[in-house]
Structure 1
Amino acid sequence: MRILISPAKKMRVDTDSFAAPSLPAFLSETERLLTALRAMTPAQLQKLWKCNDSIAALNQARLDTMDLHRQLTPAILSYEGIQYQYMAPGVFDRQALDYVSTHLRILSGFYGVLRPFDGVTPYRLEMAAPLSVDGAKDLYTFWGDKLARALAAETDLVVNLASKEYSKAVLPHLPTHVQVLTCTFGELKGDKVVEKGTMCKMARGEMVRWMAEHNVQQAEALQAFDRLGYRFSPAHSRAEHYVYLKEDV
């Protein structure tokens, strides 16, 4: 089993909590992306990043001094978004750390796919960013089937907790022998399941924490997830798509 999650825009440096024992598997591709980004003007970068002047200046400075090999932060501690706050890896016990080290994979526009303790440096590059590199029109084309092939070599079951922006860099390319289970967290509005962005991020992080605490190894075990008011809904679920509905409080 491999669990897929998205990264977060906001990142931090933490070289003290845990060592980063490994480098990302696709570092040569990351180096090519870094070269392409450094060749862009500040105005082009800000348009690519879709951010304000302050954030653009911060990330321009990061590009100018970026070192992909030294002073790195384990990926799981580097991202600061809501999903990671609810996962709370900084307080995992040894068993939970071992679990995510084996089972969790973080998708990234810049790094491709990351193991939790791969060393990374703060960057800004979303998977959907229209960056042309090496003749590829965008990052989906740049990464192609590389990420899917790497995952297929590790497992025959992918639990998809990533956003559509990131999951579509992998799922369309997976071979047929790899089972994909996508989890949706929503609320019933009439007869439709409606997802709310912030709540989804909270639930995805909480599910990773729950899986690590319970050492989940089989897809069916996920039906027991019951955090943040969500419960598995058999009526809305299929073998390849589990739906969790938030109960009225």
Structure 2
Amino acid sequence: MRIIISPAKKMSVDMDSFPISGLPVLIDGAERLREVLRKMSSRDLQVLWKCSEAIAELNVERLRGMDLRRRLTPAVLAYEGIQYQYMAPGVLEMEQLTYIQEHLRILSGFYGLLRPLDGVTPYRLEMQARLRVGNCRDLYAFWGSRLAERLASETDVILNLASREYSRAVEPHLPASVRFLTCTFGEEKNGKVVEKGTLCKMARGQMVRWLAENQITSPEAIKGFSELHYRFSPIHSAENRFVFLRRVT
């Protein structure tokens, strides 16, 4: 089983907590994207990134000095979003770190596919960014089937904890032999399951931590997740969609 999650926009540097295990498997793609981005003007980069002038200036500076092979941070520590805060990788025990290194994969617009301990450097590039690379109209076309092929070579079950922006870079390219199981976290209102962005991110991070703590390798065992007031809902679920409903008190 492989678990896929989204990255986070905000990134930091941490070369002290624990060492990297190697470089991203698709680093050639990242090197190509770096060169395309470096040829763009500061104004065009700000438009591409859809950010403030201050954030654009920070990331333009990062881009100028970007080294993809030295002074790197383990990917799972580099991202600072809510999902990663609830995963709390910095306090995982060695057995749990070993688990996520084997089972967890982070999708990235810039790096493509990351193992938790792959070395990365801060960047800004969302998967849905409208960046033309050669004959490829955007990043979905640039990465094509490479992410799905890599995952399919490792497993026949993918647990999808990624947002739609990122999961659509994988799902359409998977062979029929690979099960693509999506987890939904929501609340029932007027007979419908309603998802809330921040709560979903919290639940996804918490689930990764729970999976690691319990060394879960079976899809059926995932139904036992009951953190943050969520419970598996059989009547709302299907073979390839597990729905977890939050009890509102």
Aligned pairs (5 A) from 1:35-184: 35-184=35-184
What is aligned with 1:206? 206
Distance 2:96 2:172 in 1: 30
Structure 2 residue identity aligned to 1:61: E
Letter in 2 for 1:95: E
Unaligned runs of 5+ in 1: none
Which residue number corresponds to residue 20 of structure 1? 20
Q: Distance in 1 between matches of 2:192 and 2:46?
A: 38
State the 1:48 CA deviation. Answer: 0.3
Distance in 2 (CA, whole Å) between partners of 1:186 and 1:48 is 32
Cα distance in 2, alignment partners of residues 239 and 221 from structure 1: 14
1:93 and 1:221 map into 2 onto residues whose CA distance is 21
SS at match of 2:228: coil
1:179 Cα offset (Å): 0.6
Which amino acid is the alignment partner of residue 162 of structure 1? A
Q: CA offsets per residue over residues 2-23 of structure 1, 9 Å max, x none?
A: 0000000000000011111210
2:161 maps to a residue whose letter is: L
Cα displacement string for residues 119-145 of structure 1 (whole angstroms, at most 9, x for unaligned residues): 000000000000000210000000000
1:188-227 equivalences in 2 (<5 Å) = 188-227=188-227
Please report how far the alpha carbon of residue 192 of structure 1 lies from its aligned counterpart in structure 2 after TM superposition. 1.1
Deviations 1:166-202 (CA, angstroms, capped at 9, x unpaired): 0000011000100111000001111111100000000
Deviations 1:146-182 (A, max 9, x none): 0000000000000000000000000110001001110
Distance of 1:85 and 1:76 partners within structure 2: 10
CA separation in 1, counterparts of 2:248 and 2:8?
Answer: 29
Shift of 1:248: 2.1
Structure 2 distance, partners of 1:153, 1:59, is 34
How far off its partner does 1:59 sit? 0.2
Deviation string 1:70-109 (CA, Å, 9 cap, x unpaired) is 0000000000000000000000001100100100000000
TM-score by length of 1: 0.99
Distance 2:45 2:189 in 1: 40
Which amino acid is the alignment partner of residue 70 of structure 1? R
SS of 1:180's partner is strand
3-state DSSP class of the match of 2:7?
coil
Task: Give runs of ≥4 in structure 1 deviating > 4 Å.
Answer: none
Kindly provide the amino acid, as one letter, of the partner of residue 20 in structure 2: A
Distance in structure 2 (CA, Å) of the matches to 1:197 and 1:248: 16
Q: Deviations over 1:208-239 (max 9, x none)?
A: 00000000010000111001111100000011
Identity value in percent: 61
- Aligned CA RMSD, in angstroms, stands at 0.5
